[in-house]
Amino acid sequence: MAENKNNYAVHVRGVSKTFGAGTTAVTALKSVNFDAREGELLMIVGPSGCGKTTLLSTIAGTLQFDAGEIDVFGSALQKMSKSQTTAFRRQNIGFIFQEFHLIPTLSAVENVSVPMLINGASRAAAEKKAHALLAQVGLEGRGHELPTSLSGGQQQRVAIARALVHEPRLIICDEPTSALDKENGARTMELLRQVARAPGRCVVVVTHDNRIFKYADRMTEMEDGRIARVHEIKDGQSPEFIPN
Amino acid sequence: MYHIALKMLLGNRSKYIVLVSGITFSTLLMTQQCAIFCGLMLWTTGSIQNMRAKIWVTDPKVEQVNEVRQLRDTDVGRVRSVEGTAWAVPLFWGLQQAKLADGTFKQIQLVGLESATLVGRPYDVVAGRIEDVRLPNAVVIDELAIIRLSAGRAKPIGLGDTFEINDREARVVGICRTAKSFFGMPYIFTTYDQALQFAPKTRKMLSFILAEPAEGWTAEETARSIERATGLRAYTENDFFWATIRWYFRNTGIPMSFGITILLGFAVGVAVSGQTFYTFVLENLRHLGALKAMGASDGLLARMLILQALTVGFIGYGLGIGLTSLFGSLVLKKGEPPFMLPYQVPLGALAVVLFICIFAALLGIRQIRKLEPAIVFRG
C-alpha cells in the first residue's frame, strides 16, 4: 500500500459515474470532490437517488467510475486492475450492509470468520479471532447460533464483527441502522464510533436515519450527484438542519 | 473457504436433496439401462459362451452365432486337414420342438456335440454325468428346461424323466447350468449323431465346425488359414462374439431404444440438476455478491461452486450406482431381466455426471463473473 502523506483516509477528486447510455443514461455522480480523514466517523446523507450509495460503492472499490481519482489510504483505485482492486478490498476494507448479508446456513462465528478465510487465514485462526470479536460486540457464547435465531440487532453486531475481523482500515457502512430499533441502532453506532477512533482507521456511513446523526464527526450532504455541504459536528450537537 | 462452500450447500436442505436426487436418478437410469442393454447383448452371445470353442467355422455368409446355415459333412474333414488346425469337430445347432407331458409344445435349442470328445459340453453339470449323454436317446438339459418342460408333471422334470423331441423320446441323464440365450429357449445337449436323429432330415445337417489351433498357432492365424484353404468363414471366439454384437447393433432397434432411455437419463440429469443448481446459485447471488465485495476473487468463488457441484455429483453418483447394483443383485438372483455391469458403464456414467456438474457449475460461474459486487449496496 502507498504511503498516506496527507492524513486522508479517502480522497476523492472529480469522480463521475453514469449508468446506461444514450437517452436512458443517468448520471449518478457529477465530478464529486470528497474527503474522509483517519480516525473519524463520516456520514454521507441526502435524499434518495442523490448518489450516496454510488459514491459509497466507488470508494469501496466495488463499482468502477468513469472519471476522476479516488485514493484510499494513499492507494489510487483508478490505477488498479480488477484483481488488484479485489485484493485491496480484501485487505483494507470492511463492509457493513443494510441487509446484513449474513449467510443463513453459517453460524455467527463462521460468518464472522469469512473475511479472514478470504484473506487466506486458517480455519482455526479465523474462528478464534471471530470468537474474540463476537465477545467484543456483546455476543459471547452465541457464536454457534445461526443468523435466523438472532434478533436484528444481534445480526447487525455479527455483521460489525465480520467487518472488523481482518482489521481493515476503512469500514464502509450502508444504512447500518435502518433495520434496527432505536436502542439497537444506538448500540451499533457506539460500536462504530469506537472503531473509528482506533488509530489509522476510518468509518464511512451512508444513512437516512437522523437518530444517528449525532454519532458523526462530520457529515457530507449530497444533492443530485454532487456534494452540497459538509458539516462539522461538535459533541452533543443535534444536526437538525440536515434533511431526511 | 471450502468448508464454507459445503455448509452453504448442505445448509439448504431442500435444494441439496433435489440436486442429489436429480443426479441419483440420472445415474440410476443411465447405468441400469446400460447394464440391461449389456446383459441383453451378452445373451445374444450365450451360445459362444456355452461352447467355449477357440474357432468357429461357418458358412461364408453367416454373420453371427444365432444365424445357422448348414455346411456339408465333408467340410469337417477339410477343416481338419488345414495347416494350423489341431482338431475340428462337428456341431449340430437347431431349434426343435419338445412335446411336454400335458401335450403342449415348447421350442428348445438342441445342441449336438461330437460324441468322442464332447467338445462344447456344458461346463457346470449340477446333476448326473455329461458322459451319459452318449447313451441311447440321452439328453442333458439346462435349468431353464426344468421350468419350461415341466408343464403337466406332478414334479419338475429331473434325471430319468422322458419327454419327446420331434416325436422321438429323449431321456434326461443330466442337468446343467448355461448362459442364457437371447431368445430365451432352454438348451438340450445330446451327441451329434443323436441330434441328427432328433432333428427332421434335411440335405445338409452340419451347423458349425468347432476347431482348435495347433501348437504354436494363434486362433487368428488358424482361422485365416482355414478361410484360405476352405473358402469357409472362420471366426475366433472373440471375433464371433463381437460380430454377433455388431449384428444386433446394425439389424435391431435394441440399441436405439436403450440409447433413447440413456439419453433421457442424461437429459434428466442436466435439466433437474443443472437447473436446480443454477437456481441455487441465483438464490445465493446476493451472498456471493457480499463475498465478492469482501474481496473473494472470481476464481475462489468459481472453485467454491465447482466443489459444491462435484459434492452433489459424487454423492448422487454413489447413490445411483448403489441403487443400480442393488437392482443388479436382485435380478441376477432371478436370472432376468438381463443385467451386466462392466466397469466401463460406471466409468462412463461418472464422466457424464461430471459433465453435468461442471455444466451446472459453469452456469453459476458465468453469473458470478457478471456479478457486480456493488449489488450488495442496492436495496
Please write the tens of the pLDDT for every residue from B219-278. Answer: 999 999 999 999 999 999 999 999 888 888 888 888 888 788 878 877 777 777 777 777
Highest mean pLDDT of the ranges A66-70, B20-24, B102-106: A66-70
In A, which residues are within 8 Å of B292 by CB distance?
Answer: 62, 86
* φ/ψ (deg, to 5) at B271: -70, -55
Q: Of A118, A17, A25, give the one whose Cα is nearest residue A77.
A: A17
**Which residue has 445461526 as its cell numbers?**
A146
In A, which residues are within 8 Å of B370 by CB distance?
Answer: none
In B, which residues are within 8 Å of A118 by CB distance?
Answer: 1, 291, 294-296, 300
How many A×B Cβ pairs under 8 Å?
85
Q: Show the cell assigned to B79.
A: 477343416
Query: What pTM was computed for the model?
Result: 0.73
Interface residue A57 vs chain B (CB under 8 A): yes
Whether the per-residue pLDDT at B375 is higher than 60: the answer is yes
Q: What is the largest CA-CA distance in chain A?
A: 55
Q: Cis before residue B337, ω within 30 degrees of 0? A: yes
pLDDT category, B176, cuts 50, 70, 90?
very high
Please write the tens of the pLDDT for every residue from A116-148. Answer: 898 888 888 988 988 888 887 777 788 788 888
Stretch A93-100: mean pLDDT: 83
Tell me what pLDDT residue B378 has.
63
**B1, B2, B4, B15, best to mutate vs chain A, most A CBs in 10 Å:** B4
Going by DSSP bridges, is the β-strand pair A202-206/A218-223 parallel, antiparallel, or unpaired?
A: unpaired
Tell me what pLDDT residue B141 has.
92
| All domains of chain A in start order, with CATH | 39-64+83-232 (3.40.50.300)
Tell me what pLDDT residue B379 has.
55
Q: Show the cell assigned to B14.
A: 431442500
The three-class DSSP label of residue B355 is helix
Q: Of A184, A90, A201, give the one whose Cα is nearest residue A137.
A: A184
Contact present, A146 and A185 (Cβ < 8 Å): no
Tell me what pLDDT residue B354 has.
86
Average pLDDT, chain A: 83
The three-class DSSP label of residue A26 is strand
Tell me what pLDDT residue B192 has.
92
From start to end of B68-186, where are the E strands?
85-99, 105-113, 124-128, 138-142, 162-165, 168-177
Min Cα distance B375 → chain A (Å) is 9
Task: Measure the CA–CA gap between A214 and A201, rounded to whole angstroms.
Answer: 19
